[in-house]
Structure 1
Amino acid sequence: MKFLKSVDLDDDVEFVKTFFNVVQHIHDEESSNVARTRAVVNRDRQAAHDLLVRDYFADNCLYNDDSFERRFHLNKAIFLRISNALESRYDFFKQKPDARGRMGFSSIQKCAAALKYLGYGIAFDASDEYLKVSERTAVECVDWISACVYEVFHEEYLRKPTHRDIERLYSTHEERHGFSGMLGSLDCTHVAWEKCPNAWRGQFTRGDIAGSNNDLNVLGQSPLFNDIWTGKAPHMTFTVNGHAYKYGYYLGDGIYPNYSTLMKGYSVPRSEKTKLFTKKQESARKDIERAFGVLK
């Protein structure tokens, strides 16, 4: 009986030793794997912020406003307005220390990383060398800025135009492009057309057809045309060559129907007058498309 008890005790001791050896072996393997697969990159985020400020936002910055707008596809004043608005409302865009006491990314760094990706379609880690923003953080920046910009500004800008807005559009387009009563380019609306003729439905819905995202398939249930058809559109009269028109118009290309609210260029201009008109019309359309391309 005593012999059996001693044997049981020896077995228990051996089991405990074996158990701890296995646990220690697993722990050593996990530590070794972490050391092999995770490389710590000591990004100097504050230095990257200071460099960005010296390059674009300081009093005597290295690059002027035109360079900023060309590289970020956004006016610097609008960029700062967006950055400040997001920083004041969302904790994600506030610069704060991490668990080690090191300062995190600033609001302008996160917004710049997101706009670089949105403006150029580059890889998410392409801003790491200059802005020191990792791929994971860049993805978060794009997600946050997309959702937050809509939440903050949609009531002010994503709405039907008022009388004052239409007056400003008339004035701006006439001064810049020479077209009275112009409201914009239809190619930039990205809305579907409820009254699209049945014969044309489905002809331009394939994603691999150039321009299909801007033409007939994106025109359904459009408040632009529904309000005009139902007489709910604002009566904003303008005069051209002595003729008064009740509604404004949008520029379009040859794929659209011949409506009084659409102004198209000539498909085959022959005279000098029609050539000049078509050139001006296409120039204005492309000007608007470039301005709205980044926003879309």
Structure 2
Amino acid sequence: MNKTLFLRTVHRLSIEEDYFQPSEDAAGRSSLSPLQKCTAVIRQLAYGGGADTVDEYIRLGETIARKCLHHFTAEIIHLFGDEYLRRPTSEDLQRLLYIGEQRGFPGMVGSIDCIHWEWKNCPTSWKGMYSRGTGKPTIVLEAVASYDLWIWHAFFGAPGTMNDLNILDRSPVFDDIINGIAPQVSFSVNGNLYHLAYYLTDGIYPK
């Protein structure tokens, strides 16, 4: 996360969320600052560490760090959900189609791919289902991103032994097409007319 976005998030939370607002106790001592609380949360999310890993660096106890994480994630959805955590509107779709066409991909609305995230604390009884030959269990994230790194679809939690095709079969990314409510898109390639948008992806299997 870049500094500007982080400070913007801290500022919004310190204004609109009571838990992150600075205060004083009965003795007049200042509480933990919004910057301390948000830094603790970002470190937990970025490094996947426990709540007790920030006690010396940021001076937060385990219980407070866990509460910060809970309040932060809930408030992020509330504050930024309408802007980021949503599906494309018709205006967004037109913009994505225009950019795709300018870059030589008419009808393309984003890139889709799967990535394996290491599950450090995977229960031993589940390890076989989530390990894929490397010995380290992973959870798979399927995401659709636009050219400006706006991730507007995420399907997370599939076992690490699954490949991209298995995950695509389980995810809801094509539900609108199956249900007949997908936006109508028309474009022509090599003289052929198509009526559905598509995602750009790389090869699923090596040659």
> Aligned partners of 1:150, 1:235: CA distance in 2, in Å?
30
Q: Are 2:133 and 1:206 equivalent residues in the alignment?
A: no
> Aligned partners of 1:76, 1:138: CA distance in 2, in Å?
21
What's the TM-score once normalised by structure 2's chain length? 0.64
Residue of structure 1 in register with 2:48 after alignment: 121
Residue of structure 1 in register with 2:39 after alignment: 112
Conserved? CA contact 1:128–1:135, under 8 Å: yes
Would you say how many aligned residue pairs link Structure 1 and Structure 2?
Answer: 167
User: Is the alpha carbon distance of 1:179 and 1:120 closer, same or farther for their aligned partners in structure 2, counting shifts above 3 Å?
Assistant: farther
Identity of aligned residues (%): 34
Residue of structure 2 in register with 1:103 after alignment: 30
Residue of structure 2 in register with 1:83 after alignment: 10
SS of the residue aligned with 1:155? coil
Conserved? CA contact 2:185–2:197, under 8 Å: yes
TM-superposed CA distance for 1:81, in Å, is 2.7
Return 5+ residue gaps in structure 2 as ranges. Answer: 116-127, 133-137, 141-158
SS of the residue aligned with 2:69? helix
Which of 57, 61, 75 is matched with 1:130 structurally?
Answer: 57
Which has the larger Rg? 1
What's the TM-score once normalised by structure 1's chain length? 0.47
Could you say which structure has the higher strand fraction?
Answer: 2
Residue of structure 2 in register with 1:233 after alignment: 182
Q: Are 2:114 and 1:155 equivalent residues in the alignment?
A: no
User: Is the alpha carbon distance of 1:206 and 1:167 closer, same or farther for their aligned partners in structure 2, counting shifts above 3 Å?
Assistant: farther
Return 5+ residue gaps in structure 1 as ranges. Answer: 1-73, 189-204, 252-262, 270-296
Conserved? CA contact 1:163–1:236, under 8 Å: no
Could you say which structure has the higher helix fraction?
Answer: 1
SS of the residue aligned with 1:187? strand
Conserved? CA contact 2:51–2:62, under 8 Å: yes
> Aligned partners of 2:169, 2:13: CA distance in 1, in Å?
32
> Aligned partners of 1:187, 1:153: CA distance in 2, in Å?
24
> Aligned partners of 2:65, 2:101: CA distance in 1, in Å?
40
User: Is the alpha carbon distance of 1:266 and 1:104 closer, same or farther for their aligned partners in structure 2, counting shifts above 3 Å?
Assistant: closer
Amino acid at match of 1:140: K
Residue of structure 2 in register with 1:250 after alignment: 199
> Aligned partners of 1:102, 1:80: CA distance in 2, in Å?
24
Amino acid at match of 1:165: D
Conserved? CA contact 2:40–2:54, under 8 Å: yes
TM-superposed CA distance for 1:153, in Å, is 2.4
Indicate the structure whose relative CO is greater, using CA pairs within 8 Å and at least 6 residues apart.
2
TM-superposed CA distance for 1:248, in Å, is 2.5
Conserved? CA contact 2:41–2:69, under 8 Å: yes
Residue of structure 1 in register with 2:151 after alignment: none
SS of the residue aligned with 1:138? helix
